[in-house]
Chains A and B, each alone.
Chain A
């Protein structure tokens, strides 16, 4: 049983980034080293265009049923978005000058 659509089997090594809530993704980011996130980014980012091309073919909304594999691919892409900030901007896991501030996403729109 594969976690991701077959075209993206190479990304299954990052299965621990397949996290369904923003809370978990943000916690994972804060709990990771820069080396871990860099490695995730270096592998997954070059695949993002392909992920988006695939995702365009997956309808969501009232009538649509999203497969577990596609759902997991979206969660992985969301994690890449989260990890891109430390990698592309901050050079550290947490937002600079954000200290103890917390800003939880209490209601996340489903698909």
Chain B
């Protein structure tokens, strides 16, 4: 029985007829050749979020990102002119990695006046220009202006730093983000900067973890024991139905909007004792942060305009999620593939700066609760990956609450197939 209204088409999935309703192949998660093509088709062509402007507070602030998915490393730096730029992390002399400390494969961050190569001492300014060559007179007709760092397209939306590794991006960031960005413009992301950052190495294809968080059909079952017993059996009996789904066509981004949160709960016995004392839980501190105006929300939030709205999970294609919670905080997920069956999962919880120690303790409960859930999610994925790789079953039925799972695999499949078609044409014409 449906508890929330579905579209007139009969289901959310049938709103998007190109997706069909047939079982879906997961070959895209177990085929090494497919993964190699995803690097090119998806990760070298899409705008990718690498962090937030708060990570670069002053001139000369920088961080590096290892992008295994695109087989490169990037430097993101705030220049002397306050502009944020991205460069490939490679010295133009003989290819040494430019910014790193002790371990070349570990990410680096800090503040500097220039970048100096450890190998032969070539130096670059914060805007990427080559400024010094050791024994310059030994070189042959070397014009330093020809040997600046290799730039990467970078743009910022609402404080989120995106890069695009294509020579020429197919579209500017704003157009790439489309209605997702329009719907979230003005949300006070910049006032929620108190950040808890988690990283996990997960033995599963990157899409499997996106799948896990793009549907909440699993929540009443996998996470059953997170709730008090009576509430758990009620949740499992009812199951999960979202308030609203939307794919922001023509982009590939999407949202699932959900009810819940109970802040504060109607009946205190529905939540655990510590939640009642700390006035906090999975949905965050029950009391909204002071000093941040959340009275009018951007139009993209709570799209069903439901009174029981609790959270919206925005899927920023290909590998980012922005999840905004009704009580006034948000989190991001990033899924960075490192191999066909491995990825680095990053989660960051962003709250308003707590004003006193009590608010900090309430946040701690939200953060610890988040981790308890994520541990269950992550472990399940490794079990899924190994069985998918067995090849015993190749196609899987997806329900209407798994629309965004179906959509993700469809989108990646289309992008990789388009890339392969282009490549075949290029080979055929001898390019």
Which chain A residues have a beta carbon within 8 Å of chain B's beta carbons?
22, 45, 48-49, 51-53, 55-61, 66, 70, 73-74, 77-78, 80-82, 84-85, 88-90, 95-109, 111
Identify A45's interface contact among B197, B199, B274, B358, CB under 8 A.
B274
B262 CB to closest chain A CB (Å) equals: 17
Q: Mark B191-211, 1 if CB is under 8 A from A, else 0.
A: 000111111101000000000
B210 CB to closest chain A CB (Å) equals: 17
Q: Provided the pairs A49-B277, A81-B278, A109-B196 are in contact, do residues A103 and B361 lie with their beta carbons within 8 angstroms?
A: no
Q: In the complex, are the beta carbons of A111 and B357 less than 8 A apart?
A: yes
A44 CB to closest chain B CB (Å) equals: 11
Q: Mark B335-371, 1 if CB is under 8 A from A, else 0.
A: 0000000000000000001111110110011011001
Q: In the complex, are the beta carbons of A105 and B198 less than 8 A apart?
A: yes
Q: In the complex, are the beta carbons of B197 and A78 less than 8 A apart?
A: no
Q: In the complex, are the beta carbons of B357 and A58 less than 8 A apart?
A: yes
Q: Provided the pairs A49-B277, A52-B277 are in contact, do residues A105 and B379 lie with their beta carbons within 8 angstroms?
A: no
Extra A-B contacts (16), CB below 8 Å, given A61-B354, A109-B195: A45-B277, A48-B274, A51-B361, A52-B278, A55-B361, A60-B354, A73-B357, A77-B361, A82-B368, A89-B226, A97-B222, A101-B378, A104-B200, A105-B198, A106-B198, A107-B197
Q: In the complex, are the beta carbons of A61 and B355 less than 8 A apart?
A: yes
Whether B372 is near chain A, meaning CB under 8 Å from some CB there, is yes
Q: Give the distance in Å from the alpha carbon of A74 to the alpha carbon of B354 in the complex.
A: 13
Chain A positions within 8 Å of B190 at CB level: none
Q: Provided the pairs A52-B277, A109-B195 are in contact, do residues A59 and B355 lie with their beta carbons within 8 angstroms?
A: yes
Kindly count the residue-residue contacts between A and B in the assembled complex, taking CB atoms under 8 Å apart: 116
Q: Provided the pairs A70-B357, A78-B364, A81-B278 are in contact, do residues A103 and B272 lie with their beta carbons within 8 angstroms?
A: no
Q: Give the distance in Å from the alpha carbon of A48 to the alpha carbon of B126 in the complex.
A: 50
Q: Give the distance in Å from the alpha carbon of A49 to the alpha carbon of B361 in the complex.
A: 12
Chain B positions within 8 Å of A53 at CB level: 358
Identify B196's interface contact among A90, A99, A108, CB under 8 A.
A108
Q: Provided the pairs A84-B272, A101-B382 are in contact, do residues A57 and B199 lie with their beta carbons within 8 angstroms?
A: no
Q: Mark B370-398, 1 if CB is under 8 A from A, else 0.
A: 01101110111010000000000000000
How many residues belonging to B are interface residues under a CB distance threshold of 8 Å? 37
Identify B364's interface contact among A58, A81, A97, CB under 8 A.
A81
Whether B260 is near chain A, meaning CB under 8 Å from some CB there, is no
Chain A positions within 8 Å of B372 at CB level: 85, 95
Q: Give the distance in Å from the alpha carbon of A98 to the alpha carbon of B372 in the complex.
A: 9
Q: In the complex, are the beta carbons of A111 and B354 less than 8 A apart?
A: yes
Q: Give the distance in Å from the alpha carbon of A78 to the alpha carbon of B198 in the complex.
A: 17
Q: Provided the pairs A101-B200, A106-B197 are in contact, do residues A88 and B278 lie with their beta carbons within 8 angstroms?
A: no
Identify A103's interface contact among B194, B200, B380, CB under 8 A.
B200
Chain B positions within 8 Å of A88 at CB level: 272-274
Q: Mark B78-91, 1 if CB is under 8 A from A, else 0.
A: 00000000000000
Whether B174 is near chain A, meaning CB under 8 Å from some CB there, is no
